[in-house]
Amino acid sequence: MSSSLETLYELIVEEFSCELSELTPETTLESLGIDSLAKMEMLFDLEDRLGLHFPEDNREIVTIQDVATFMDEVKLAQTQKEK
């Protein structure tokens, strides 16, 4: 499991009162009761926890894996930018 997925699972369990056993990469945010406002709050929490800045992006984020992929892309871009 990627560290992004692990971080995301931890946040979802803490913030949205979910059980770890119900989370998979394919789990949709909607099925966890995470609406568009909660999704934005989750991204802000991830920015704070990880020291990242998520650009405004029109991509469709539906699943936990979508969020983890977005996190990995932003981490990579910021790492390359720092070099």
* DSSP per-residue codes, 7-64: HHHHHHHHHH---GGG--TT-BTGGGT--HHHHHHHHHHHHHHHT--PPP------BH
pTM for this prediction: 0.87
**What CA–CA distance (Å, rounded) separates 38 from 4?**
19
Query: Per-residue pLDDT for the chain (83 aa), expressed as one digit of tens each?
Result: 678 899 999 999 999 989 999 999 999 999 999 999 999 999 999 999 989 888 887 678 999 999 999 999 999 988 887 76
pLDDT in the model for residue 59? 78
pLDDT of residue 30: 96
